[in-house]
A and B are shown apart, each in its own frame.
Chain A
Amino acid sequence: MSLETAVLVGVMFSVATYLVLQRSFVRILFGFLILTNAANLVLLAMSGRPDGKRGPVVLDPSAPMVDPLPQALILTAIVIGFGVAAYLVFLLYRLFLDQKTTNAADLYEEPESNS
C-alpha cells in the first residue's frame, strides 16, 4: 500500500512538473492542480496503512481509528489550494485578455524595437 502510494505520488509530481514547464496556459494550470493534489496525497499517506481501521468519524469503537490529524491537515490544504487555484485561473485569464495569447513563451519576449 505505501509503495503504491509512493509511486503514485512520484508519477503525479513528475506529471505536474512536466505540465508546469509547458507553454500552454491550460497545461500550466492543470500542472499546478495536479501538484497540489500530489502534495495532499503525501499528507494522506502519512496517516499510515488504513486496512481494517475505521474512519475518524464513524462511531464504532470496535476497530482502531485512522489517525485523523493528516485528514484535518488535508482539509485545510484543500481549502487553501481551492483559493489559490481560483487566483491562478483569474491570473491566467487576465493574462490571456491582456496579451491575447495562451502561450507563456510569448509573454516574456522582448520586442526588437525596445531591447
Chain B
Amino acid sequence: MSGLRSYIFKAAVRLLFFLVNVFALYLLLRGHNLPGGGFIAGLASAIALVLLSLAIGLEELHRVMRFDPMRMAAAGLAMAAVTGAAPLLFGRPFLEHFDAHLTGLPLLGELHVGTALAFDIGVFLVVVGIACKIMFALGKSTQRLRALVAEEERRYSAPVEQPIEEEPPIRAATNPSTPSPHVS
C-alpha cells in the first residue's frame, strides 16, 4: 500500500510536514516558561511523521528516513537522564537545573539558555520515538507488513525458542489457532 491516492493530500502533506515540524520546534524552544515543551512538541512532530506516512506509505517512509524509533527514544531518555544526573558531579541535588542569560551574541543578541532545554530535548526525542513506534507498528500490522524492519529484527526480536519441555505441553492444545502473525 502506498498511502492515500489523493494528489492534493500528497502535495499538501509535503508542505505541512515542514510547517508542523517548525511549529514543533517553536513549541519545544518556548517551553519551560510558556505553554509548550518537549512532550507537546514531540507529539506534534510525531503527527507530522504520521501525516507523511499516510501520504507516501510506511515502506517509503522507512526508506527515506532511516531511524529506529526505539533507539531514538532511548537516546532521548539517556539525554534527559544525563542532564538530570550531571549536577551530581558537582555535589548538587539530582535534577537541579541551571540557566544563564547571555548577551552580545552574534546574530542572536540576547539569549536565555538553561539546562532545562537539554532535558526537554530529551523528552522530545522520547515522545517522537515512542509515538512513532506505537503508530507505525499498529499501521504496519494492519497493512500486513512485518512489524519490525530487518534492522530492528536483529536488535529486538525474540531468539529462536529453546524448548524446555520434551513433549508438547498440554496447554498448547487449548488453542488450535494458526501460528500468530508478527506483532511487536
Chain A interfacial positions (CB closer than 8 Å to B): 57, 75, 79, 83, 86, 89-90, 93-94, 97-100, 110-111, 113-114
Q: Are A90 and B138 in contact (CB under 8 A)?
A: yes
Minimal Cβ-Cβ distance residue in A for B135: A86
Q: A93-B141, A113-B173 are in contact. List 6 more A-B contacts (CB 8 A).
A: A93-B138, A97-B141, A97-B181, A100-B177, A110-B174, A114-B173
A98–B134 alpha-carbon span in the complex (Å): 19
Complex A-B: 5 CB contacts under 8 Å: A90-B137, A90-B184, A94-B183, A97-B141, A98-B175
In the complex, the number of residue pairs spanning A and B with C-beta atoms less than 8 Å apart equals 34
The answer for the CA separation of A52 and B89 in the assembled complex, in Å, is 45
B34 is an interface residue with CB less than 8 A from chain A:
yes
The answer to whether residues A93 and B177 also contact, given A57-B34, A79-B39 and a CB cut-off of 8 A, is no
Shortest distance from the beta carbon of B29 to any chain A beta carbon, whole Å: 16
**Cβ-based interface call for B6 (8 A):** no
Whether B104 is near chain A, meaning CB under 8 Å from some CB there, is: no
Is B183 in contact with A93, judged by CB distance below 8 angstroms?
yes
Fill in one digit per residue for B35-46: 1 if any A CB lies within 8 Å of its CB, else 0. 100010000000
Per-residue A-contact encoding for B141-184, CB less than 8 Å = 1, 0 else: 10000000000000000000000000000100111010011011
In angstroms, Cα B173 to Cα A110, docked, is 11
Bound CA span A99–B183, Å:
14
Q: Which residues on A sit within 8 Å (CB–CB) of B177?
A: 98-100
Q: Is the CB of A98 within 8 A of B180?
A: yes
| Chain A residues whose CB sits within 8 angstroms of the CB of B183 once the complex forms | 90, 93-94, 97
Say if the beta carbon of B58 comes within 8 Å of chain A.
Answer: no
Q: Nearest-CB distance from A72 to chain B (Å)?
A: 11
Chain A residues within 8 Å of B128, by CB = none
Contacts of A79 in B (CB 8 A): 39
The answer, yes or no, to whether B130 is at the interface (CB within 8 Å) is yes
Chain A proximity of B168: nearest CB distance (Å): 13
**Contact partners of A89 in chain B: CB under 8 A:** 138
How close is B175's CB to chain A, nearest CB, in angstroms? 7
Residue of B nearest to A99 (CB): B177
Closest to B33 in A: A57
Bound Cα distance A94, B174 (Å): 17
Tell me how far the C-beta of B64 lies from the nearest C-beta in chain A, rounded to whole angstroms: 25
Q: How far is the CA of A79 from the CA of B37 in the complex (A)?
A: 13
Interface string of B77-116 (1 = CB under 8 A from A): 0000000000000000000000000000000000000000
* B174 with A83: CB separation less than 8 A: no
Contacts of A75 in B (CB 8 A): 39
